[in-house]
């Protein structure tokens, strides 16, 4: 099935498609030179023996683990905040605050400025379980956050494609029982599977081209398939944005922001907090190694396969 992609100048069509299906693809949105700068910086850090990052799929600090083909197994949570690795973090940030991104966000949420809540980097697909973003993060009031997946290369169908379930944003939304922890995560995954069965939703996968960006609603059920051919990577970014006149859901206090090169986008967390968090990855990495501690919760599909 061919993918329905829209150019950035078709703003009405972009909004209508997003409202109807809970997602939309804008083609060739991200500048290829910015993508290349990011990939060049990534090639340096993934081979560094001193690089420690927080993994999005296991929620543990870890070092790079490369496949035989040279792809990193784990995804990186908040790579734009890894200030101890400035060239990489800055190149990630430049992609995520590109002016074209702002133009699409304005269409989808009808706001002029945004806060980036979270971002992630993927090399090899980690195979993400079906979920709604609202369970983890959202705006306050809910439903105004917009997420984006940036294709940093031509994605092969066997690479572990990102997928969404069109129209699922109009169905029931699963709430987190506790704002402070994810102790009910296994139950949440089961509830999402029940929603899929009840709604009889179709799965739509996205072997996008380099520079394409997919946007989706926080209630839309989505995830990623496992890699089916180790020869293919799935280099990509994700980010989550909410209008700056709103607050983040589940926030216990007023969050700090830091400026970016785009005056219409700030990022959660001050520069100082980024350095402290980056340093703590190393402390926790050593402590977890000594204690043999596993993940608090797991996003990998294989962990939920019965």
User: Cα separation of 77 and 30, whole Å?
Assistant: 20
Tell me the pLDDT band of 179, cut-offs 50, 70 and 90: confident
With respect to residue 1, please indicate whether it lies within any of the assigned structural domains. Answer: no
CB-count burial class (<10 Å; 0-12, 13-18, 19+) for 216: buried
pTM of the model: 0.93
Task: Report the number of distinct structural domains present in the chain.
Answer: 1
With respect to residue 119, please indicate whether it lies within any of the assigned structural domains. Answer: yes
pLDDT, tens only, 118-166: 999 999 998 889 999 999 999 999 999 999 999 999 999 999 999 999 9
pLDDT, tens only, 221-269: 999 999 999 999 999 999 999 999 999 998 878 889 999 999 999 999 9
With respect to residue 3, please indicate whether it lies within any of the assigned structural domains. Answer: no
Helical packing angle, 11-21 and 99-109, nearest 10° = 60
Does residue 197 contact residue 88 with C-beta atoms inside 8 Å? no
User: Cα separation of 74 and 88, whole Å?
Assistant: 16
> Any alpha helices (H) in the chain, and if so which ranges?
11-21, 32-45, 86-96, 99-109, 185-199, 271-291
Provide the 3-class DSSP secondary structure of residue 32: helix
With respect to residue 228, please indicate whether it lies within any of the assigned structural domains. Answer: yes
With respect to residue 187, please indicate whether it lies within any of the assigned structural domains. Answer: yes
Residue range of the domain that includes 132: 13-304
With respect to residue 57, please indicate whether it lies within any of the assigned structural domains. Answer: yes
- List the CATH number of the domain containing 205: 2.60.120.620
With respect to residue 5, please indicate whether it lies within any of the assigned structural domains. Answer: no
With respect to residue 4, please indicate whether it lies within any of the assigned structural domains. Answer: no
pLDDT at 218: 98
């Amino acid at each position: 099935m061919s993918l329905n992609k829209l150019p950035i100048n078709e703003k009405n069509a972009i909004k209508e498609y997003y409202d109807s299906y809970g997602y939309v693809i804008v083609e060739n949105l991200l500048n290829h030179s910015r993508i290349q700068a990011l990939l060049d910086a990534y090639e340096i850090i993934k081979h560094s023996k001193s690089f420690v990052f927080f993994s999005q799929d296991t929620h543990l600090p870890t070092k790079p683990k490369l496949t035989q083909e040279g792809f990193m197994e784990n995804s990186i949570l908040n790579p734009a905040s890894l200030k101890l690795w400035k060239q990489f973090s800055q190149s990630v940030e430049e992609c995520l605050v590109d002016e074209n991104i702002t133009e699409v966000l304005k269409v989808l949420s009808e706001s002029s400025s945004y806060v980036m809540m979270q971002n992630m980097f993927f090399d090899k697909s980690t195979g993400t379980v079906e979920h709604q973003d609202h369970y983890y993060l959202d705006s306050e009031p809910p439903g105004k956050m917009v997420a984006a997946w940036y294709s940093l290369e031509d994605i092969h169908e066997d690479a572990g494609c990102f997928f969404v379930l069109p129209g699922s944003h109009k169905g029931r939304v699963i709430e987190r029982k506790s704002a402070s922890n994810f102790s009910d995560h296994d139950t949440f995954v089961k509830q999402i599977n029940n929603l899929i069965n009840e709604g009889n939703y179709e799965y739509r996968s996205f072997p996008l081209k380099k520079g394409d960006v997919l946007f989706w609603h926080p209630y839309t059920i989505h995830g990623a398939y496992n890699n089916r051919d180790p020869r293919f990577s799935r280099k990509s970014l994700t980010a989550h944005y909410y209008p700056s006149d709103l607050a983040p859901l589940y926030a216990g206090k007023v969050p700090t922001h830091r400026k970016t090169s785009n005056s219409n986008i700030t990022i959660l967390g001050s520069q100082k907090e980024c350095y402290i968090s980056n340093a703590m990855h190393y402390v926790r990495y050593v402590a977890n190694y000594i204690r043999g501690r596993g993940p608090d919760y797991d996003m990998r599909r294989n962990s939920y396969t019965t």
